[in-house]
Structures are given as C-alpha cells and as structure tokens.
A and B are shown apart, each in its own frame.
Chain A
Amino acid sequence: MRKLIAMSIQLLAALSMSPHAEARLAVRRSVLGNGLVVLTSEQKALPMVTLNLLIEAGSRFEPAERAGLANLTSRLLTYGTKNRTAPQISDELDFIGATLSTGCSEETAAVSLTLLKKDLDIGLQLLAEVLTLSAFPPEEIERQKQAIIASIRAKEEQPGEIAELKFKEALFPKSPYGRPVEGTEESVRRIERAGLLEFYQNYYRPNHAILAVVGDVSPEEVNKKLAQVFRTWEKGAAVAPVAPPPAGQPTLILVNKDLTQANIIAGHEGIPRTHPDYYAIQVMNYILGGGGFSSRMMESIRNQRGLAYSIYSAFEPEKYAGSFQVTMQTKNESAGEAIRVAVDEIRKMREQGATEPEIQEAKDYLIGNFPIRFDTNRKVASLLAQIEFFGLGLDYPDRYPDIIRKVTRDDVLRVAKRYLQPEKLIMVVVADQAKAAVKTSLDTGKGL
C-alpha cells in the first residue's frame, strides 16, 4: 500500500487544487418583504434550474386525531389551484418535462421543482400557484385519501417499513414524532376539507419557508422574479419551537410475518441537529456503524460472520428531536446472534471508545467526502435549505473541515458514554418468529 499512495501523492502535486466550497457554490442569501428566505447558487454548466422549498408545515403541527393532515395537505398542493385543475397542472408540467414533487416529514413539508432554464417562468408561476392558491377540490381530496390509504396498506408488506413505524411509535410515544407521517387508515378517513384549508392557511406562509434555487440563473434575476410571483403571499403567525419529545421505555417488539429474514431495528433517543455534540457523534458513529465498510459493525456482522448484507447505525437528527438506531436484516434463525453482536459493539464503543487511527480515518472521510456529497444541483439545493433550516450559517461548508478536525479521542469516548445507552434499547424484530426465537436466543445468550 505504501507504494500505491506514494504514487498518488505525485499525481496530487501535478494537479491544481479545487477552489473552496464556498467559492464554488457562491451562495447568496436574501429575504423577501414577506419573510421568505431565498438562497441562490448560480451554476451555469447545464441549462437547468432546481428549486427546493422547505416549509415548517410538518406533521408535528397537526392534531393527533387527524394524523396525516400535514401529509395530505402537501400532497394536495399540486392537485388543483384556483386557476388550474389537477389534470391541467400535470399536463403543463409534463409538457415542459419538469418534475414537481412534494413531501412531508415530522417538522417540514417540501416542494421540489426541476426544469429547463427556458421554462423557468412557467415553473415559477406554477410553484407560486400551488403555494398560494391551492384549491383542495373535494374530489381530489377523496382521491388522495384513497391513494394514501393504499400506500399505508402497501407498507404492510415491506418488513423494513413495519419495523421503522413500530420503532418510531415506541421511541416517541404520544408525540407527533412517534406517529406515522401518513397517518393511519382511520385518521386519514377523518380528515375534512375545512381542516386542510385551515392547515394550509396557517402554515403555508412565506415566513415559515426557505427556498433554495440552484442552476443557470443569476441571484438578481431569481429575486426579481420571486418578488413578482410571490407578491400576494402574506406573512403568517410565527411558528413556535417545541421541546424534544420524551423517549419511550426500553422494550422488545415482535411482529410475525412469513419472511425469510428478520428485519431488526434496535435504538433509542438521539440528539437534535443543533446539539453541540453533533459532530463528535458523527465521528464516533462512523466508526461504530455509520462508515459502511470502514465500520466495526460491518466488519463483525457482515465480513466476519456473514450474518447480514446490510448493517448500519445512524444518529438521525431533526431540529427538535433525534434518534439513534441500528438497522439490519438477517435470516430468521440468526436474529438473536446478530442482535448480540451489534449490542456488543455498542457496549465496546461505550466502554473503550475508539483508537487514534480509527478516529483519523473517520475524520479523513468526513472532511474529504464533504464536497463530493454535493456534486449535483439537486444535492446543493437540498444542502442550502438544510443549512438555513438548522441555522448553520452560509460559511458552513468552509467551516466544516475545521469542526471535524477539532474532534478529539476524548470527545469520542465522552459522546459514546453519554449517547450510547445499551440498557435503554428499544428493539423491533419483524420476522417469522417461530424460526427467529429471539427471546429464547437472547435469554440463553449473554442477554442484553
């Protein structure tokens, strides 16, 4: 290996270095009169533009008995406005080959539009319409309710989805963060048009939104056009932050299905994105199970024992909540063994932390990979919206390497001790339970 790397260093010397991320992205931030935050990055390589809108209109704002209201609202945005029917909108978008999609999570809803530069005006008009003049026609509400119910049903045949839903529910009981964003069949049926209109009126407001625009258009042109199309979009009441939801008790949840594999999630509470320990946790988790083939879990569970094809751990941070989870699939019969090995890795990390070489490898990856992670307009647009949403600052891409570099071995041990809690694990196993025999296996083994 030494020889190989030496040769690459020669190559490195011969090639010029890339400019700083910030220079390449040339991000500009502005705020329209109505409070809409606009982030732009002009990228002229291709005649296309991507617009990514993030808006604080996620499921945490809906009442529990109408679970699915936020998601249904976001789905219906593109199904009819005061000026156009749903088929008209589809036809116009398809005619210019644009893609307009909507999505919803616990905290935010998202609207994403990608189109050719020449069609920017048509696209902006449509975007403004769905955000300010969506009509929620009764027949479209009925259609989308049926579609969502079918989607809820379809997830019942996806063991990974079942495990995720059960895990969330146990992790954040009685909290919007624990409910499925889509709602349940019953709660979706209960949603009425008045509730949708009210939600739309309250939360689809410019001062709750961030719009990232990346592509072949100048910041001046974007801002001028946006000020025009969004001139009638009025500010709403401010959105209040929430306290992190309380975490549920450790438990073992078994779901029986006629499957060849056990789908396993084991995890507990994590941290929100703005937590100061976020970066030390990223380094620690890379070594534990986040770093693909460089991670300890991949080595012990997949490479050494052949127990799983996919195995990883992740701290998933949102703005006000966070989770930690290990996700894997293994043949029913080895479920207990795979869980034991994973939990042992968590314990080991918690007790001993990581070595200097492991930490260096993790930092080298995180720093070196950062600019590569944002190698498309769509990924840049998504990054910009996140930077604003989490308040990371426009210089975040340039600060990132230093933030990671400063993480020490002591930090890694400290966050492992503090944020890995094997005694608090919530465990979900979706499997052919007779074959998996998880309880027996865990009781007769080293236990938890």
Chain B
Amino acid sequence: MRVLFLSLALLLSWIKPVQAQTSRVQEVVLDNGLKVLLLEDHKSAAVTFQVWYRVGSRNELDGKSGLSHFLEHMMFKGTDKVGPEEYARIIAKNGGNSNAFTTTDYTTYFATMSRDKIGIEIELEADRMVNARLDGDTFEAEKMVVMEERRLRTDDNPGTALGEMVSAVAFMIHPYRRPVIGWMPDILNLTREDLRRHYKTYYIPNNAYVVVVGDFATEEILAKIKQEFGKIPRGAEPPKVTLEELPQKGERRAALKKEAELPMLTMYYHVPNIKSADAYALDVLSVVLASGRSSRLYRDLVYQKQLVTSVDADYDGLSVDPSVFLINAQVMPDKDPAEIEREINALVTQVQAETVSDRELEKAKNQVEASFVFGQDSIFGHAMRIGQYESVVKWQLIDSYLSGIRSVTAADVQRVAKKYLDPDQRTVGRLIPVKESGQ
C-alpha cells in the first residue's frame, strides 16, 4: 500500500458480504478487453474510481518477491505528461483522496472525488496504464521507502511477522507462500528491468477492470472512460499461474522467537475459495466461532476463561486460488499457550461433533446480513466488494451470496468443520516473546 490510510479492520471487513443492490451494476467491455463495472449511488457527494490489475504476489517468481508491490509504488513516479509524485498532488488539489494497494491477487489504484472532478482521475489512470516511466532517479530512493515499509509492517510487528512465517510453511508450492511486500533480500535485488517487464506483461487493458461507484451519471462517465481508455491497445495475454498446492498430509508446526510482550498462536487450515459450494458454510462457521462477543471462541477464551486478549476466525474465500481458514489468538499475560491450543482444539472438536442450534445458526446469518448492509454505507467499501468478487469469479456472484448464506444448514456447518478443520490439514504457528538483550 502506498500510505497507511486503511486500517486492518477495514481490510478484513471487506471479506464480509455484500447486498442484492449490486445487481444494478452495469457491465461494459471495451474493444480492447477492459471491463468496466458501474454502480450509480447518489447517497453521498462522492465517486470512487478504481482500476484493478490482475497481478499480485501470486504472479511472482522466487527471488523476485515484492515486485508487484514495488511496481505499485513506482506507478506514482510519473509519465511523459505528469511529473514524479504529481499524480497524488493533482488529485488532492481537486479535493480527492487517492491511494493504491497490492495483495496476493491484484493491484488496485483508486481516487475518491466529487462528480465534477472525477474526470481528472480517469485521465490520469488511463495515462499511467501505458505511459508510466518507472525508472529515472527515483528508483533507488523508492526502494528504500519500500524497505522502510517492510520494517514498519513486518519486521517490527510480531503479528505480521508470525503470519508471514506461517504462510511460508503452510504453502510449499503455491506462491501464497511468499509475502506480498517481498522478502527483504529480494526487494534489495529487484531491478529496473524487472519492473519494466512486469509492467509490460500485466498492465494492459485486457488484464484489468475498472470499478466505479457513487454519484455519477452512467452514460456520461462511460463516454469519458471510453474516450480515455479506449485508445489503449490490447496486449498479449499474460501467463497463467498454474501452480497448485498438493494436499497436506499431517500437521506442520513452526515457532518464531521475537521481542514481544504477549505470545500469539495462529492456525492455518487449507480451504477452497468461493468457487466451492462449501464457501457459504465456511463463512457461517467463521461467524459461529469468532464473530461477536457471543461467538464460541470469544465467549469461552476471552470472556469466561480469560485465556486470550483477542481471538479471530477468518475464512478468506475471496482469493483467486484456494487459501486458508485461520484462527488467531493473542495470549493473556502469564497464560500458557499450550492450554489455549488445547482449548481451541476442544471447541473445534465440539463444532465437528454436534450441530449448532437453530438460534445460533440464525444469529450467524443475521450477523452476515447486517454486516452486508452496513458494508454499503461506504461507496469505497462497496466498490472494493465488487472488485474482489470480479478478481476471483464474476462480480454477478455477489447477488447470490445472501441466498447462499440463507440456505446453509446446521448439518452443512458441521460437515465443513469436519472436512476442513482437520488437524492434518493445518499449520500451527507460535510467537514466543523474548525480552530485549538490554541497553
């Protein structure tokens, strides 16, 4: 990400569902293959315009990790018409906010502006889709900035550092084993030529799509988008990622010793993505386990036994390739992480052994539905949702999401818990705090 604006909580909230209103999305595909998704929403005075490139760390090779993210930074270094770092300045002086971020699966650029100014963003995004300069004097300084970003986010952050290590153990073949920001030695070795090749290969209209949500008139904005992006030539189809993780046979365990105050425990279970019919039940399962203070893990571990300060269960179904269902806990002072692991195991075993009650199931579905409506409060969040769906499947699948959730039965929840929360299919990571060596 370019700058730290978006909290992790917000990022995670995007994983949660969307609403039926999305069926009002207009889809148009330009001749060069650029797909445009438009949703008019006049409740606020803003428009969010987002360009999504289907490239992320998933498309990187060993030794070149962090390339997609570094390219995202360099996309702000100007074109023939726009000077280095001038993009953000132009957006700002026109009252807008802009940013960009990279994930395992996609790289997204966006600005949120008033309807009378959004044309400026459309022009600038079209310009840098083909004319980014990428090199010049800014290369070395920006590499240092990315290294500072890694130190801030990962090297000095015990939680992120633990997650990075556990991913590297849970995935042996698939590129999800590499961090989006890249390993530090890889970042150091990235070259201008790497950037140029990555840009030429992936930043083409037929490997991108545009999502626009907010206060605009569809015909007008579409004409503007066609005018700016329509002239960009189609590129050669980028290489497909065909790597597949083989089934895991037996639990993997890994520990990280690092200066920290409280131990952490994390469990990654391999699961299918949203293309699977089991995705809805996995979503409901994550809510039953750890969404809200009345959820099973929260009530037992945080509230009743006071063994952990916090606990999460997240199902990441919106990933291009099969990803993980994870359970995270931060251990209370003076509690034994082994006891917490036993306790989580017992609660997981319980959800496998007995079906959830009707009320518990209904509660989980209500939580999903409400958060789905709340998610539309922000046009940015709404656009993110559409874009995330489009990155994995067709955006239209959003419309069947709620009915999919509603059709989940107690037996489904039990079945997916048994099938996927299998100890042989998981990687357990532990953060072991060590105290500083002293002055």
Contact = CB atoms under 8 A, between A and B. Distances in A.
Contacts of B158: 157
Interface in A8-41: 8, 11-12, 14-15, 17-18, 21, 24
B407 interface: no
A435 B379 CA distance: 45
Interface in B51-104: 76, 81-82, 84-86, 88-90, 92-97
A291 B302 CA distance: 40
Contacts of A374: 44
A97 B436 contact: no
Contacts of A261: 148, 151-152, 155-156
B377 A378 contact: yes
A149 B85 contact: no
Contacts of A383: none
Contacts of A98: 370
Given A11-B116, A24-B45, A94 B261 contact: no
Contacts of A355: none
Interface in B18-47: 41-46
Interface stretch (A228-236, A297-305, A409-417): A297-305
Contact of A12 (B116, B261, B370, B377): B116
Interface in B137-191: 138, 140-149, 151-152, 155-156, 158
B248 interface: no
B94 A368 contact: yes
B120 A4 contact: yes
Contacts of A151: 309
Given A5-B120, A151-B309, A306 B155 contact: no
A150 B215 contact: no
Contacts of A86: 303
Contacts of A121: none
B400 interface: no
B117 interface: yes
B95 A309 contact: no
A309 B141 CA distance: 11
B123 A7 contact: yes
Nearest to A261: B151
B376 interface: yes
A171 B144 CA distance: 32
Interface in A295-350: 299, 302-310, 329-331
Given A18-B45, A368-B94, A260 B155 contact: yes
Contact of B367 (A50, A97, A375): A97
A258 interface: yes
Highest count of chain B CB atoms <10 Å: which of A11, A21, A306: A11
Nearest to B295: A94
B4 A15 contact: no
A165 to B, nearest CB: 14
Contact of B217 (A15, A87, A376): A15
Highest count of chain B CB atoms <10 Å: which of A4, A97, A299, A308: A97
How many chain A residues sit at the interface, stated as a range, is 35 or more
Contacts of A376: 44, 377-378
Interface string B114-137: 111111100110010000000000
A156 B259 CA distance: 10
Contacts of A91: 294, 363
How many chain B residues sit at the interface, stated as a range, is 35 or more
A371 B220 contact: no
Contact of B81 (A4, A291, A330): A4
Nearest to A150: B309
A293 B89 CA distance: 6
A238 interface: no
A309 B45 contact: no
B92 A87 contact: no
Contacts of A329: 148, 151-152
B299 interface: yes
Contact of B145 (A93, A302, A378): A302
Given A11-B224, A309-B152, A47 B373 contact: yes
A87 B95 contact: no
Given A157-B158, A260-B155, A364 B94 contact: yes
Contacts of B294: 87, 90-91, 93-95
A147 interface: yes
Contacts of B326: none
B437 A157 contact: no
Contacts of A114: 374
B259 A307 contact: no
Nearest to A310: B4
B370 A18 contact: no
A151 B262 CA distance: 10
Contact of B299 (A15, A87, A149, A372): A87
A45 B41 CA distance: 9
A27 to B, nearest CB: 15
Contacts of A8: 117, 119-120, 123
Contact of B124 (A4, A15, A97, A375): A4
Interface string A419-446: 0000000000000010000000000000
Nearest to A11: B119
A174 interface: no
Contacts of B293: 90, 93-94
B89 A294 contact: yes
A303 B77 CA distance: 10
A93 B85 CA distance: 46
Contacts of A392: none
A448 interface: no
A395 to B, nearest CB: 17
Given A15-B220, A43-B43, A310-B152, A153 B262 contact: yes
B162 to A, nearest CB: 12
B331 to A, nearest CB: 9
12 contacts: A4-B123, A11-B116, A46-B377, A95-B294, A114-B374, A143-B306, A157-B262, A261-B155, A364-B95, A368-B113, A368-B117, A369-B92
Q: Which 3 A-B pairs have the closest CB atoms?
A: A368-B95, A97-B370, A306-B144
Given A116-B370, A305-B141, 13 more contacts: A11-B119, A18-B114, A48-B377, A90-B292, A261-B151, A293-B88, A306-B141, A306-B144, A365-B95, A369-B97, A372-B44, A375-B378, A375-B380
